[in-house]
Amino acid sequence: MAVTNADIAAIFNKVADLLEIKGENPFKVRAYRNAARTVENIGKSLAQLVEEGYDLTKLPGVGHDISEYIKEIVTTGRLKKLEELEKEIPSHLVEMLSIEGLGPKRIKVLYENLHIESLEDLRKAAESGEIEKLPGFGPKLIEKILKGIKLAKKEGKRFKWAVAEYYANELVKYIKSIKGVINIEVAGSFRRKKETVGDLDILVTAKDWEEVSDHFIKFDGIKEVISKGPTRSTVILKSDIQVDLRSVAKESYGSALHYFTGSKAHNIAIRSIAVKKGLKINEYGVFKGAERIAGLTEEEVYKTVGLPYIEPELRENRGEIEAAYENRLPKLIRLEDIRGDLHVHTKYTDGKHTIAQMAKAAKDLGYEYIAITDHSKHLTVANGLDEKRLRVQMEEIDRLNEELDGITVLKGIEVDILEDGTLDLPDSVLKELDIVVAAVHFKFKLSSEKQTARILKAMDNPYVDIVAHPTGRLIGEREAYEVDMQKLLESAKERGCVMELNGQPERLDLNDVYSKMAKEMGVKLAITTDAHNTFSLNYMRYGINQARRGWLEAADVINTLPLKEMKKALKR
DNA sequence: GCCGTTTTCGGCCCGACTGTTTTCAGTCG
């Protein structure tokens, strides 16, 4: 089994953790983390790049040493450097980094003085009072550690963006009820529309911070107040989401918003440019010596470093700064650009509403068209359609189109891709449809070679227009199946197939990295909702979020086209 | 360990908050 980019990134992150505990130069540690991030975001398979003899040092954050390490991992599946580090430092120590209040320095002290190597050792030593004898470890810290051990299992929990959105809206509404609040915005990964959100960072400017902060910590959904300071307060909600509320003066709002929106990597890159220009950027503004030269708006902040405004969704240091310099930032797609939905279900299978109801709801959204794509017969749990029932549905759609005004209903199917890559319905009926969406719904555990071959074969069928949720992942529930996305996209390009960006909040599939890769390879996408009821036609906005993170413009997405042109774009 | 429109050596973003401290280290984002 080939080494994946995720494997390589995991190795570099582990090296970084161990080096940190060892007490290595923090910039060296950062170099490994940067390399890990590059590897995760590159899209293309590093194993393949190595095979092609590509010069890896061209990748950002990858120099001579790390380039050699990547080659070593790809060819041997291991990294000697990591194995040596693990001999030196027990690798279980890394687990302790997840405990609030314990960082590399304290872990090192605990290991060297008390030989604490695991969470269990840590708990025993904390309870027996041994830790308290160490300098710098007072009673409050020990209490925090004990609490942290219990929480360690839940550690790293992230929330789907749509879930975070609910709490964000509630909190903003609650905080806004204070009259003195001037500006309020949820920043952080939420504002960058990341598919999952770890915590909510809310920024406010207000006449009286004390009043806002006192009000904030009385919010009904709060489980615990972590800290409350003169500019920042942190709480944990009952739903375990951490919320940071931060206040700045009005004139610093732009620089603070930039700072708290991140990403960290983007901010570091921007600040580094500022340093080279003799400027200092912090959340209070842009400074030339002691003089504040900008900070009211984000635009101002970017201007001081010679850049145009960069949309939050792009701020991941994945090339947006270079693109901004060269004036080739994408004009990101917006919800208003969408003219129709190409993947929805009805009562015929596992949907909740009729074709007419779905069509009306789509029209109310201002759409020109909606494609009915119910499941095919293999998906028995969803009451999938056989040819006979599909033909009944097709007739109903024909009748409906005669009655309807202002919206066109397209005849379609979400046809199952069987294990051997053939389709669940015969060509004789597929060819009569306006649109065929093909999808994998079972046998997720095939090898990458088999899964890739399976989908490639389905794409060979000339009636397949769109490959739905191409990696099959469900955020937080199911990993993507193994598949060679590079090959899928190459063949989509060759055959004129469209790839789906499914807007279901737990799918968002293709993800941002693959969406960007598809765009760069010239593959068109369809952003769909996979709606099973009229309400979830609104999931389009989640799809748009992900699309924007993937640098997509309206021209990259076929359902921004008017009906006639969209149908032409589907032809292959 | 990476990087270069001042540099191939000497930098590497910046501040808030906590806890344990008499002035600051560690952690966090």
Query: Beta carbon of A67 within 7 Å of strand B?
Result: yes
Q: Residue at minimal CA–C1' distance from B14?
A: A282
Per-residue pLDDT of chain A (572 residues; tens, 9 = 90+): 578 888 899 899 999 999 988 888 888 898 999 899 889 888 788 998 998 889 999 888 899 999 999 999 999 989 999 999 999 888 888 888 888 888 888 898 898 888 888 888 888 888 888 888 888 888 888 888 888 887 764 555 788 999 999 999 999 999 999 888 999 999 999 999 999 998 999 999 998 888 898 899 889 888 888 888 888 899 988 888 889 999 999 999 999 999 999 998 899 889 888 888 888 888 899 998 888 898 999 999 999 999 999 999 999 988 899 899 888 999 999 999 999 999 999 999 999 999 999 999 999 999 999 999 999 999 988 899 999 999 999 999 999 999 999 999 999 999 999 999 999 999 999 999 999 999 999 999 898 899 999 999 999 999 999 999 999 999 988 889 989 999 999 999 999 999 999 999 999 999 999 999 999 999 999 999 999 999 999 999 999 999 999 999 999 999 999 999 999 999 87
CA of A278 and C1' of B3: distance in angstroms? 18
Q: Do residues A186 and A287 share a domain? A: no
Report CA torsion sign: A1, A479, A499, A347: positive
Chain A window 247-276, residues with Cβ within 7 A of nucleic strand B: 264, 267-268, 271-272, 274-276
CA of A140 and C1' of B20: distance in angstroms? 10
Query: Looking at residue A286, which CATH number applies to its domain?
Result: 3.30.210.10
Chain A window 33-62, residues with Cβ within 7 A of nucleic strand B: 34-35, 57, 60-62
Q: Do residues A134 and A217 share a domain? A: no
Q: Do residues A357 and A426 share a domain? A: yes
Q: Looking up tokens 């201007």, which residue turns up?
A: A303
Name the nt closest to A63 by C-alpha to C1': B2
Query: Beta carbon of A201 within 7 Å of strand B?
Result: yes
Cα separation, A387 vs A302, in Å, equals 58
- A165 to each of A159, A169, A201, A496, how far by Cα in Å? 10, 6, 12, 36
Query: Looking at residue A165, which CATH number applies to its domain?
Result: 3.30.460.10
Domain edge (last residue) among A129, A154, A179: A154
Q: Looking up tokens 């590079």, which residue turns up?
A: A486
Query: Looking at residue A524, which CATH number applies to its domain?
Result: 3.20.20.140
Q: Do residues A424 and A566 share a domain? A: yes
Query: Beta carbon of A11 within 7 Å of strand B?
Result: no
Q: Looking up tokens 């929330």, which residue turns up?
A: A159
Q: Which of A218, A212, A215 is nearest to A231 (CA)?
A: A212
Q: Residue at minimal CA–C1' distance from B29?
A: A264
Beta strand ranges found along A306-379 (DSSP E): 340-344, 369-375
Q: Do residues A180 and A148 share a domain? A: no
Q: What's the domain count of chain A?
A: 4
Query: Beta carbon of A161 within 7 Å of strand B?
Result: no
Instruction: Tell me if A269 is assigned to some domain.
Output: yes
Q: Do residues A494 and A361 share a domain? A: yes
Q: Which nucleotides of B are covered by protein (CB under 7 A)?
A: 1-3, 6-7, 11-21, 25-29
Alpha helix stretches (DSSP H) within A77-160? 80-88, 93-96, 104-114, 119-128, 139-151
Q: Which domain holds residue A67?
A: 5-154
Domain edge (last residue) among A111, A131, A154: A154
Q: Which of A134, A107, A144, A137 is nearest to A227 (CA)?
A: A144
| H/E segment holding residue A203 | strand A199-206
Query: Beta carbon of A27 within 7 Å of strand B?
Result: yes
Instruction: Tell me if A165 is assigned to some domain.
Output: yes
Name the nt closest to A19 by C-alpha to C1': B1
CA of A34 and C1' of B18: distance in angstroms? 29
Q: Do residues A137 and A19 share a domain? A: yes
Domain edge (last residue) among A247, A266, A292: A247
Q: Do residues A488 and A405 share a domain? A: yes
pTM: 0.86
Query: Beta carbon of A115 within 7 Å of strand B?
Result: no
Query: Beta carbon of A99 within 7 Å of strand B?
Result: yes
Q: Do residues A102 and A144 share a domain? A: yes
Q: Do residues A378 and A316 share a domain? A: no
